[in-house]
Amino acid sequence: MTKRAAVIGAGLAGLSCARTLRRAGFFVEVFEQERMIGGRMATTRLGTDTFDHGSQYVTARSREFKAYLEEVAGLGYAARWNPRAQLNGEEGAGQMLPWYVGTPGMASLVRPLAESVRIHTGRKVHTVDRKDKGWHVWFEDETSVGPFHAVAATVPAAQARLLLGRFDEIAQPLGRVRMMPCWALMVRLEDKILPDQDVFSDMSEVIRWIARNNTKPGRSPRGESIVIHASPSWSRESEDAEPEMIAEELWGEVSHVLGLPPVRPVHMTAYLWRHGLVDQSLGETFIYSSDHKVGVAGDWCLGRLAEHAFESGNRLGKAIIESLS
Ligand SMILES: Cc1cc2nc3c(=O)[nH]c(=O)nc-3n(C[C@H](O)[C@H](O)[C@H](O)COP(=O)(O)OP(=O)(O)OC[C@H]3O[C@@H](n4cnc5c(N)ncnc54)[C@H](O)[C@@H]3O)c2cc1C
């Protein structure tokens, strides 16, 4: 009989888990609350411009993730990015490893993982429960699907606790994890007014990162599309502020630290990643209860990088396969 698995969350962890399960012959359904897949590997369109307002680039240390990036690049969904930069006094952004970006946007990096998997977007999972025949996934409109033999929740730690907090073996370790918010600002300028560099990092207590998004391969070179990330501590202090006010404050700070002329952007949009960056990780690759056939995965299990999400999801998938074989 074909094994059925439900994956909650269509970020890198969820989709890498889904692909591992799919390749082992499982029937997999992925439930994603947003309209788009990719999670924090995100690309948004404002007018005619696209912005990567979450993850900026990815690097690979493990053999598996290197192989995956080569596969994605071979399909035309990723390319190397060599931004002009001077970070920590080193030319070339201090790149120890090659930087890859999705093309035409970061969200493209997950596309090959989504093939042959049934993905339902705009489906926020409210709860999961287990009856005699297996797991059922419930949504906010009180409809449900199931039964599934196993469930993988690949959502940020705080959301995993909401879904699975009643399982002690999952809830307790989840309590160790801390994630920080990050305000992202997307700015469109008519003219090129930034100094002659493509990325700037740790510019002040407020500004963590500035990138000329349009210098990434496959983006429109017209004008300037800039992505700014605030520091986690400033983002935490300003978590409840209005996005319009955040946009003004961050742009004022960027103008100040880069010494820009007083120019009004054509467009500015601020977005809060409420569970954006991992501050304290779990220190384990995933959590899985083989008694209950339910587990959790995400970048926060191992670290704060896309590669951690990929590995965590893949390894949870393998644990599910093993427990059901
Ligand atoms: C501002 C920022 C910059 C970053 N820069 C980099 C970088 O340069 N390099 C790098 O390697 N990493 C970077 N990262 C980290 C990287 O984006 C993450 O490590 C990776 O994308 C995490 O993937 P994930 O699948 O674990 O989680 P996510 O991408 O968060 O995926 C979880 C998914 O679950 C969905 N979800 C949550 N709750 C529910 C629910 N109840 N029902 C249904 N769906 C739900 C969410 O909508 C989301 O799509 C950055 C992150 C941020 C926020």
CATH number at 6 reads 3.50.50.60
Q: Is the CB of 31 under 6 A from ligand 1?
A: yes
218 lies in a domain? yes
8 lies in a domain? yes
Rounded CA separation 198/297 (Å): 33
Q: Tell me: the pLDDT tens digits for 301-313?
A: 999 999 999 999 9
Q: Are 296 and 204 within one domain? A: no
Who's near 148: CB < 8 A, 6+ residues apart?
4, 5, 6, 29, 134, 135, 136, 137
Using only C-alpha atoms, the chain has a radius of gyration, in whole angstroms, of 20
| Per-residue model confidence (pLDDT) at position 47 | 81
Q: Is the CB of 152 under 6 A from ligand 1?
A: no
Ligand 1, atom 31, lies closest to the CA of 11
Rounded CA separation 48/56 (Å): 20
- Helix, strand, coil share of the chain (percent; to 5): 30, 30, 40
Ligand 1, atom 4, lies closest to the CA of 55
Ligand 1 binding pocket mutation candidate from 126, 299, 300 (most atoms within 8 A of CB):
299
| Per-residue model confidence (pLDDT) at position 9 | 98
Who's near 95: CB < 8 A, 6+ residues apart?
82
Q: Are 139 and 250 within one domain? A: no
Q: Are 198 and 310 within one domain? A: no
Q: Are 161 and 200 within one domain? A: no
Q: Would you list the DSSP string of 66-133?
A: HHHHHHHHHTTSEEE-----EETTEEGGG-SS--EEESSSGGGGGGGGGTTSEEE-S--EEEEEEETT
40 lies in a domain? no
| Per-residue model confidence (pLDDT) at position 89 | 47
Rounded CA separation 199/90 (Å): 13
76 lies in a domain? no
Q: Are 205 and 291 within one domain? A: no
Specify the 3-state DSSP secondary structure of 41: coil
| Nearest atom, ligand 1, residue 40 CA | 29
Cα-to-centroid distance, 115 and ligand 1 (Å)? 19
Q: How many CB atoms lie within 10 A of CB 257?
A: 14
CATH of the domain at 231: 3.90.660.10
Quote the tokens at residue 216: 């990434």
Quote the tokens at residue 258: 């880069």
Q: Is the CB of 210 under 6 A from ligand 1?
A: no
What is the distance of C-alpha 316 from the center of its chain? 17
Q: Are 272 and 288 within one domain? A: no
25 lies in a domain? yes
Q: Are 264 and 298 within one domain? A: no
Q: 137 with 144: CB under 8 angstroms? A: yes
Domains: count for the chain = 2
| Per-residue model confidence (pLDDT) at position 87 | 60
| Nearest atom, ligand 1, residue 159 CA | 38
47 lies in a domain? no
Q: Is the CB of 247 under 6 A from ligand 1?
A: no
Rounded CA separation 128/134 (Å): 10
Rounded CA separation 282/175 (Å): 9
Q: Is the CB of 278 under 6 A from ligand 1?
A: no
Range of the structural domain that residue 263 is part of? 178-279
Q: Which stretches in the chain have pLDDT values below 50?
A: 89-90
Q: Are 270 and 306 within one domain? A: no
| Nearest atom, ligand 1, residue 307 CA | 11
Instruction: Please classify residue 104 by burial: count the beta carbons closer than 10 Å to its beta carbon, then call 0-12 exposed, 13-18 middle and 19+ buried.
Output: middle
Quote the tokens at residue 322: 């093993």
Q: Are 257 and 138 within one domain? A: no
Q: Would you list the DSSP string of 154-223?
A: -S-HHHHHHHHTT-HHHHHHHTT-EEEEEEEEEEEESS--S-S-SEEE--SSSEEEEEEGGGSTTS--SS
DSSP run (H or E) holding 253: helix 243-258
312 lies in a domain? yes
53 lies in a domain? no
End-to-end CA distance of the chain: 11
Tell me the β-bridge partners of 200.
210
